[in-house]
Amino acid sequence: MSYGILSFGAYVPTMRLARSAIAEAVAWAVPSLKGLAKGERAVANWDEDSLTLAVEAGRDCLSGIDATIDNLQLASTTVPFADRSNSGVIADALLLPEGVTTEDLGGSRRAATSALVRLGLTQSSRSTLLLAADCRETKPGSTQEMNYGHGAAAILFGTGEPIAIVTGAASLHDDFIDQYREANIDFDYALEERWVRDEGYNKLVPKVVRAALANAKLDLSEIHRFVLPTSAATAKGVAKALKADPERFSDPLSANCGDCGAAHPLLMLAHALETAVPGEKILVIGFGQGADAIVIETTAHLANLQGTHGPQRYLAQKRLCKNYTMFLSLRNQLDIDFGIRSERDNRTSQSASYRRRKDITGMIGGRCSACNTLQFPRAQLCVKCSAVDTQVGTSLSGLTGRVKSYTEDWLAYTPLPPYIYGNVEFEDGANCMLEFTDFDPGQVKVDSTVRLVFRIKDFDAKRHFRRYFWKPAPLLNTKP
């Protein structure tokens, strides 16, 4: 038993926007974007944000893992709440114990890698689930709109049989401004690319890499892969500055995902771990007002998680979108007139929500201890045998269900029509009327098998609040 990385996970939204759709839509104003119009970028659905992305990455990381989580950390520059524990909502959605400590990390795209440095170098008996997620918005017609993506990743640290260990790390602070975003501004402001490359990456990254290698007592030639979240051109410049083989730099996932901000170093690491072999040494780099470098060495236990954890399955499952105006509407940058049907007051009863918070956020129903019937929500009486006070809290979030009935409603309001809802049956008798997500029109069928995902239920625009719940979604492909 030793301390190290026990598991990894990732999540990439199923919706992908073809970059050619962006280029075609703004060609009249920004024809230069045509040179970037290759591949696609990951786009969060209207009911996804950095919090829900992190939940899915955490579920992927904890799948099949028997571990008690002592600490939960969320690294993000785009958390939905400025004065509410975002990581606390995630803890409830992941069914973590009340004693778990939660922490929101932000302020830099290095938030996740800086946490990785601390966790890797601190030998602790307590386990920590590190989540990183970003859902950055972009100005229409900008380079960021082409290059950014939405996604999340997770790393579990603790004592057990590690799949990888941190053998060395280093951090370098330097208030070098490559891009920034004020607290009340929606979009990043980026400086000139050559300046960032020559004065930032090419000078700061080699310095922190050498410090990390010295800490790990390794030579540069012993590193098998470099995880550097940047463009291929910038990575080539860093490789030259380091005198390293550019072929050893990992795929930045730009062709089918895009730059996921604070989550991207961990997302690329998770992608590398999917194919790594025992004894492989991976150097993870974070950049932004300084740089981090972490040396990770894999173990033989990694093979137990390969094929069942990581981003490849999510990257393979996609819904390609070529409608630029739909993308803008989903990201709340185009105010479509959905008519009177969209005008409603979504005030949340905070007292009632608090009393049922575990049931709502954790999708906890009740299982009758007398007849084993499962039901949602929990009640004093069993719906089958009428036994009193026999309900044992049981979460439905990890179950698959069968569609018993459904409706595709083109009159009711939803940000992405049609509004699909229906009755889903789970094992041992539970039946729920639920709102569906991530289905195309005509895709839902009676007897379709669905999984549950944690999503935004609705928004309260007057009081600036959002509610979360679980929704049926298509099954995830079991193979990449």
Q: Would you list the DSSP string of 12-41?
A: --SEEEEHHHHHHHHTTT-GGGGGG--SEE
pLDDT digits (tens, 9 = 90+) for 413-423: 999 999 999 99
pLDDT digits (tens, 9 = 90+) for 290-342: 999 999 999 999 999 999 999 999 999 999 999 999 999 999 999 999 998 88
Residues 344 and 377 in one domain: yes
**Mean pLDDT, residues 453-467 taken together:** 94
The range of the structural domain enclosing residue 51 comes to 2-330
pLDDT digits (tens, 9 = 90+) for 36-55: 999 999 999 999 999 999 99
The C-alpha angle with vertex 63 and arms to 62 and 68, in degrees rounded to 5, equals: 40
> Would you say residue 474 has pLDDT above 70?
yes
479 is a domain residue: no
Q: How many domains does the chain have?
A: 2
Residues 94 and 147 in one domain: yes
**The predicted structure's pLDDT at residue 480:** 44
Residues 298 and 326 in one domain: yes
480 is a domain residue: no
Could you tell me the CATH number of the domain that includes residue 140?
3.40.47.10
> Would you say residue 478 has pLDDT above 70?
no
Beta strands in 26-127 (DSSP E): 40-42, 71-75, 101-105
State the amino acid at position 384 in one-letter form: K
> Would you say residue 242 has pLDDT above 90?
yes
> Would you say residue 76 has pLDDT above 50?
yes
303 is a domain residue: yes
pLDDT digits (tens, 9 = 90+) for 171-203: 999 999 999 999 989 999 999 999 999 999 999
> Would you say residue 248 has pLDDT above 60?
yes
pLDDT digits (tens, 9 = 90+) for 428-443: 999 999 999 999 999 9
170 is a domain residue: yes
Residues 305 and 452 in one domain: no
464 is a domain residue: yes
51 is a domain residue: yes
- Domain boundary among the residues 275, 300, 330 is at 330
pLDDT digits (tens, 9 = 90+) for 385-414: 999 999 999 999 999 999 999 999 999 999
Distance, in Å, from the CA atom of 347 to the CA atom of 363, rounded to the nearest integer, reads: 21
Q: What tokens appear for 281 in the block?
A: 């040494």
388 is a domain residue: yes
- Domain boundary among the residues 280, 312, 330 is at 330
pLDDT digits (tens, 9 = 90+) for 78-91: 999 999 999 999 99
191 is a domain residue: yes
**The predicted structure's pLDDT at residue 165:** 97
Residues 91 and 54 in one domain: yes
Answer whether the bond into residue 418 is a cis peptide, omega within 30°: yes
**The predicted structure's pLDDT at residue 343:** 85
**The predicted structure's pLDDT at residue 470:** 98
Residues 263 and 375 in one domain: no
- Domain boundary among the residues 288, 306, 330 is at 330
